[in-house]
């Protein structure tokens, strides 16, 4: 297991309010192409207790039940570990969540979004813990999914840069990506991301730099926030004993100007939430200039002297371009994965609908 802690040395678990026993919460999943939707699920889960343990499935398990993951299990473990609401990561967590797993890690209950996760044979992976009353549900984040992000890469349009409603042509094309003919799955497809101040407030720490903290400014696109970004920010975090890292994010149009194609894959507000969810980041500048000016440094009370720039090698060769290349190379596999996933979910929904329509005495609880 990988212990994070929440800023405490050694990641020691703290007691709950009033000295009571800490409520331990379990979440699990693939966490492939970790985005702010995953982070928001973990934020909500952490708010339900005092200590959050996250189980992450292996590549083999994901391939068996769902299809090929975009990222390797080691990459996914580290990405989840970097989310600030996570206290502990359990690698190689079983795909089906059982009472045995919850008991092994002394968890009171598990939390999942209000969608559904199915095994290769179409069974609800949370069936056992639901029946035992040790299951809680949180709201699924609208406007983002791994399926949607993969679709943006393959469709090569720039519609996601706009905060305006998608054109009907784009929506029809995007919403059909990797879906079954005539599919009507309520959990897949594309929904418009709505940027609100509340979302940012929920993700932000709200803490100003304190006396004795070293303010460090970094800037970039931080598109498809990935392990390369995490490695970089972790190294920056180590530059000072008490770092306060401010991440500047460039406007979509600026990123598109220097990167071209349909970059950034995530729009500015989506990228803001992804970066704010990282445990190494204290604050974000939305729409930071490409060039760091004296005025910008002055605004954050940085010394107006020169010689304060450092170049940090993240040690990772992963880039947004390489992620997109992985998707393009395996396009047919990912489309087949999405179609297979939706087919199982539709079959499950239909079975549930038929059972609900049966007289009470005829129900056996087996889908």
- The confidence score (pLDDT) of residue 291 equals 73
- The confidence score (pLDDT) of residue 295 equals 66
Most confident of 3-17, 232-246, 257-271: 232-246
- The confidence score (pLDDT) of residue 360 equals 56
pLDDT digits (tens, 9 = 90+) for 70-122: 889 999 999 999 999 999 999 999 999 999 999 999 999 999 987 777 666 77
pLDDT digits (tens, 9 = 90+) for 30-54: 998 888 889 999 999 999 999 999 9
- The confidence score (pLDDT) of residue 27 equals 97
pLDDT digits (tens, 9 = 90+) for 273-312: 999 999 999 999 999 887 766 666 565 554 444 455 566 7
Find how far residue 112's CA is from the centre of its chain. Answer: 13
CB contact set of 146 (below 8 Å; sequence gap of 6+): 32, 33, 35, 70
Considering only CA atoms, which of 113, 127, 69 is closest in space to residue 330?
A: 69
CB contact set of 286 (below 8 Å; sequence gap of 6+): 249, 268, 269, 272
SS3 128: helix
CB contact set of 154 (below 8 Å; sequence gap of 6+): 177, 327, 328, 331
Query: Residue 11: is its pLDDT beyond 80?
Result: no
Confidence tier at 1 by pLDDT (50, 70, 90) = very low
Q: How far apart are CA 1 and CA 77, in angstroms?
A: 10
Residues forming a β-bridge with 285: 248
Query: Residue 196: is its pLDDT beyond 80?
Result: no
Average pLDDT rounded to a whole number, residues 256-263: 90
- The confidence score (pLDDT) of residue 10 equals 39
């Amino acid at each position: 297991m990988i212990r994070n802690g929440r800023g405490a040395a050694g990641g020691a678990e703290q007691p709950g309010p009033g000295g009571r026993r800490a409520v331990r919460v379990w979440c699990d999943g693939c966490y492939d192409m970790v985005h702010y939707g995953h982070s928001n699920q973990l934020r909500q889960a952490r708010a339900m207790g005092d200590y959050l343990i996250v189980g992450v499935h292996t590549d083999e398990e994901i391939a068996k039940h769902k299809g090929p993951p975009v990222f390797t299990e080691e990459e996914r473990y580290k990405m989840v570990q970097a989310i600030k609401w996570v206290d502990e990561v359990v690698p190689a967590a079983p795909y089906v969540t059982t009472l045995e797993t919850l008991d092994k890690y002394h968890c009171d209950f598990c939390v999942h979004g209000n969608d559904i996760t199915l095994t290769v044979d179409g069974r609800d992976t949370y069936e056992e813990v639901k029946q035992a009353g040790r299951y809680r549900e949180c709201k699924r984040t609208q406007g983002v999914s791994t399926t949607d992000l993969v679709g943006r890469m393959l469709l090569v349009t720039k519609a996601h840069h706009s905060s305006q409603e998608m054109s009907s042509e784009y929506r029809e094309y995007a919403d059909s990506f990797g879906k079954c003919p005539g599919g009507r799955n309520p959990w897949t497809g594309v929904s418009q991301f709505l940027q609100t101040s509340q979302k940012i407030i929920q993700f932000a720490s709200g803490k100003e730099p304190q006396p004795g903290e070293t303010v460090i400014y970094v800037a970039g696109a931080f598109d498809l926030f990935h392990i390369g970004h995490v490695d970089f920010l972790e190294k920056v975090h180590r530059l000072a004993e008490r770092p306060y890292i401010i991440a500047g994010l460039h406007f979509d149009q600026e990123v598109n100007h220097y990167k071209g194609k349909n970059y950034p894959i995530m729009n500015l507000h989506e990228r803001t939430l992804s970066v704010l969810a990282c445990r190494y980041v204290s604050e974000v500048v939305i729409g930071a200039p490409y060039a760091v000016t004296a005025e910008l440094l002055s605004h954050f009370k940085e010394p107006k002297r020169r010689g304060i720039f450092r170049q940090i090698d993240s040690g990772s060769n992963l880039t947004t371009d390489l992620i997109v290349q992985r998707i393009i190379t395996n396009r047919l596999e990912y489309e087949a994965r999405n179609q297979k996933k939706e087919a199982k979910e539709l079959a499950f929904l239909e079975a549930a609908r038929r059972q609900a329509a049966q007289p009470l005495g005829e129900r056996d609880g087996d889908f």
